[in-house]
Structure 1
């Protein structure tokens, strides 16, 4: 509208240019919304004009359109000689120098007191604006105001109509189509399916696990889940498909233009994955839910109505929900029997009683004796082959995990008194899959402990840390209830999930088990000893036990022993053993009474601990340590360890050790003379050089022994 108006003004009044300026919301400036001129350079110059509503802003606040806007009355005609502001603007832009006369008219909407725009006309003649032309331009400004008023009213009607349409046909919460829209869409899709001889799938979808979200976190959290799915579900479908919310946690999907069932299966699998993806709530919790679906394929018979299609898909949904434990897929087709999931070889072995419980000893590294065992599941097939967890766990379904934990727990409760009778009073640790932790699980555990002959304080239940379970508020309630059984709780694989690591302080645990991934690779990644030490400090600060798993070699045993790890588990102590072999092992437990470090990886760990202790002491009070003692490397315990391990006097390691002590002594002296100086860079470089040299010597020795290690 604006552009056409200024073009007509230039064409019909022989003006050289015209433009419309409108106020910028929330600022002092007017913006040129449309411009027309007899030359491109003049039009470009007009488009770059920035009139201001502020009179103090010279020259832009004193331009003719600025005056018309402020005074709310027509301004002009004005020539450059009459307006210093106009002259100043013309000097800034050469194309504007052609202008000899300007007029500006404020434009008002009906019943508005402030201008909504300013119409500006420019001429190269000082006599251009005759009385009749001025009257015509004034009438044009009034007409423009009336047109703008009508246009605004029309736009408001359109917006109001859209709002009514939204309320009538869309769900308030999710913004998805509602039941009324669904009924209209179904009629159209059914007609299209018949016309094109293609299949239409009507899918009734109901969320699994939605009620616990409402019960645990409140209805606001439930609404967040519905809103999230309202955004996700359309993205999982094709553009030609349709999704509506019926209410509550029920949705309907219309998947059309299907050639066969294979096309539908792909879409349903995508919908399943979309719903199962984690949902982050505003309270920081992460939840997972599932879905059950009932499908009706149209056309199925004669005389089918949209209402019948919905009823039949709802019946199929009922069948799907009734077989959640054993269905192959979360969807069921109307008229077909529920396809039950085929039992895997591992499930058949579990059903057949092929479970064996093996035990891996846990060493108290201070008392140098075995004090506990972890009960581990194994399956033995008909050929006598032993299946480790990595092989059979992926074949189990959710319902199997509690059955597995229950059977392992029952066997451990039966075996522990046998060991007691032979003089080995050990505690036992049993894994409990987080997915199976529930009220019924806790009730079952309570009954088993009551019927057993083992003091519950000797039972540790391990919960895997790297699971969403610990991110849920309900987890804390379940763990607290498990504690009332008198058992100890352990968090397994600590370090594998950062989020729940932050929640350790909130969990009622007695023990943490360091993720094996940080320990098994220590020979290749010795720098991970820093994490071992940090976890040890964390456990100590929380007042809980720390079990270091993955201690598979003598060198790793040496390193974590030097670090002061209290409880160790791994092949360096013993592999998992059947009960009979465990009894034999306990009768002839190898001695762990050795002086550490026993090798170069242990020496590396000792240097880490030594440096940490020295740095802490110096920072606390640099006068606590004598300079001459610090600078003399031979007074350091590391020097004695190096001699005992056969490190040459005066060799590369010895020289780097001496350089390290000189750097530490200098740092100590600097802190005494200048306490504000906290630049440890020189000492840290010396420390890193010594650490790297020890590790390279370790790797070299392993290579010479025929066991090369990568530094990656």
Structure 2
């Protein structure tokens, strides 16, 4: 309500509003005029003010190809620098942004990334770059902006990956498919981020025009306490292979986890065990270092992964054709590469792992012979029991060593704790 003392003042203000409206009746954006009160703009939050005044910094987290041990890409991540020099990370500034800010943020990050990539190119580091796009921002205006940025830039769009969250309602809408196809037509790659963090229909997933899936880091960061989640990692690998897309595993925060996922055969890895997010200058220094080469597995968690991978490969081969596997080789545990790894790592001083490993090979050799004699046989229970016993023994030794070294005890059966993720 207007703060008026008299009816005359109210009528005067109404007349002024009427005349002003008539003057602008052809302007649809000025269909009404307000008089008699000061119009206050909505107060911008500190994060919005930093975004408005150039406080954005783009940091980069390297993505490693585990097969070549070389950095092949980077994820561009937003940071905001306060006037006092304080650096704000996404978990602090994202809650202060509104929907309209996310498009501006993504545009600013991509703009800076497209300016920095040619600098890296000139120094011999030809990397691809990924940028997070909030699903709310995916619109015709977003696509038009992206088209203009690609046309004005010098970076081939095939080196740009746009990451979209899996759990968004946007992906359940038919309009999502149309918009994503428009983006793909520009030549960029699309990634589905945080796969596994929310319910997602596999039928819907297979229809989306994605080139890459990024496993939610909540499954990876806790592998030291929940090694059994490596089975889930293997399942996602199968899913990615079936979809014909790349798999990037985030949350590779420790050397043991790096060892395990490398042994699992995951090619693209991201996390603190490789490198933390860093400004461009630090990234250039990091890229100039000589990469280290290690033999895998080099930890008990890696040995656990090695046995899991070896078991799955043997089982698949035997099911495909049991005659392809030589019985005498199969029953001899010492010919297995896992045996050589156990000896190299020196983890079987009391002989328990060796005995369990031998029992596993006897069980799977018997299963192979049984399938040759009776192809309809499909009772793998003895093999699975032997496999589980070996896995459990490896993990007990691993967890005991962690406890002895002052690390938290393994909580293998506990649910995964929620992990804050860096979406920008």
**What range is the shorter-chain TM-score in?**
0.7 to 0.9
TM-score, normalization: structure 1? 0.52
CA-CA distance at 1:607 after TM superposition:
0.6
Distance 2:171 2:118 in 1: 32
CA-CA distance at 1:623 after TM superposition:
2.6
From 219, 241, 245, the counterpart of 1:518:
219
Q: Report matched runs for 1:534-573 at 5 Å.
A: 534-573=235-274
Q: Report matched runs for 1:207-218 at 5 Å.
A: none
Q: Report matched runs for 1:12-161 at 5 Å.
A: none
From 286, 293, 297, the counterpart of 1:597:
297
Establish whether residue 692 from structure 1 lines up as the match of residue 392 from structure 2: yes
SS of equivalent to 2:378: coil
Cα deviations across residues 284-318 of structure 1 (Å, max 9, x unaligned)? xxxxxxxxxxx9xxxxx9xxxxxxxxxxxxxxxxx
In the other structure, the counterpart of 2:145 is: 444
In the other structure, the counterpart of 1:109 is: none
In the other structure, the counterpart of 1:641 is: 341
In the other structure, the counterpart of 1:360 is: 61
Establish whether residue 509 from structure 1 lines up as the match of residue 237 from structure 2: no
SS of equivalent to 1:498: coil
Establish whether residue 498 from structure 1 lines up as the match of residue 204 from structure 2: no
Q: Report matched runs for 1:228-627 at 5 Å.
A: 341-591=42-292, 593-627=293-327
CA-CA distance at 1:493 after TM superposition:
0.9
Distance 1:481 1:446 in 2: 10
| C-alpha contact 2:56 2:78 (8 A) present in aligned 1 | yes
Distance 1:404 1:534 in 2: 34
From 345, 359, 363, the counterpart of 1:659:
359
CA-CA distance at 1:470 after TM superposition:
0.5
Structure 2 alignment gaps of length 5 or more: 2-6, 8-28, 30-35, 415-424
Distance 1:391 1:361 in 2: 22
SS of equivalent to 1:679: coil
Distance 1:594 1:695 in 2: 22
From 402, 405, 410, the counterpart of 1:702:
402
| C-alpha contact 2:166 2:200 (8 A) present in aligned 1 | no
Distance 1:419 1:449 in 2: 18
In the other structure, the counterpart of 2:10 is: none
CA-CA distance at 1:550 after TM superposition:
0.8
Distance 1:524 1:650 in 2: 24
Distance 2:399 2:279 in 1: 35
Which structure has more RCO (C-alpha within 8 Å, separation ≥ 6)?
2
CA-CA distance at 1:709 after TM superposition:
3.5
Cα deviations across residues 104-147 of structure 1 (Å, max 9, x unaligned)? xxxxxxxxxxxxxxxxxxxxxxxxxxxxxxxxxxxxxxxxxxxx
CA-CA distance at 1:650 after TM superposition:
5.3
Distance 2:109 2:410 in 1: 38
CA-CA distance at 1:677 after TM superposition:
2.5
SS of equivalent to 1:503: helix
Distance 2:39 2:389 in 1: 67
TM-score, normalization: structure 2? 0.86
| C-alpha contact 1:359 1:374 (8 A) present in aligned 2 | yes
Distance 2:244 2:167 in 1: 22
In the other structure, the counterpart of 2:380 is: 680
| C-alpha contact 1:465 1:500 (8 A) present in aligned 2 | no
CA-CA distance at 1:342 after TM superposition:
3.3
SS of equivalent to 1:512: strand
Distance 2:202 2:88 in 1: 31
CA-based RMSD of the aligned residues comes to 2.1
- Greater percentage in strand: 1
CA-CA distance at 1:501 after TM superposition:
4.2
Structure 1 alignment gaps of length 5 or more: 1-294, 296-300, 302-321, 323-334
> Aligned residues, how many?
381
In the other structure, the counterpart of 2:18 is: none
Distance 1:350 1:488 in 2: 27
Distance 1:648 1:604 in 2: 13
CA-CA distance at 1:467 after TM superposition:
0.6
Would the alpha carbon gap of residues 376 and 500 (structure 1) be closer, same or farther in structure 2, given more than 3 Å must change? farther
In the other structure, the counterpart of 2:16 is: none
Distance 2:397 2:122 in 1: 48
Distance 1:628 1:650 in 2: 26
Cα deviations across residues 366-388 of structure 1 (Å, max 9, x unaligned)? 12101110000011112222111
| C-alpha contact 1:519 1:551 (8 A) present in aligned 2 | yes
SS of equivalent to 2:406: coil
Distance 1:664 1:672 in 2: 12
CA-CA distance at 1:355 after TM superposition:
0.7
| C-alpha contact 1:700 1:708 (8 A) present in aligned 2 | no
| C-alpha contact 1:344 1:395 (8 A) present in aligned 2 | yes
Q: Which runs of 4+ in 1 moved over 4 A?
A: 335-341
SS of equivalent to 2:200: helix
Would the alpha carbon gap of residues 336 and 555 (structure 1) be closer, same or farther in structure 2, given more than 3 Å must change? farther
Distance 1:355 1:500 in 2: 36
| C-alpha contact 2:70 2:291 (8 A) present in aligned 1 | no
CA-CA distance at 1:621 after TM superposition:
2.2
| C-alpha contact 2:163 2:193 (8 A) present in aligned 1 | yes
Distance 1:580 1:343 in 2: 31
| C-alpha contact 1:494 1:501 (8 A) present in aligned 2 | no
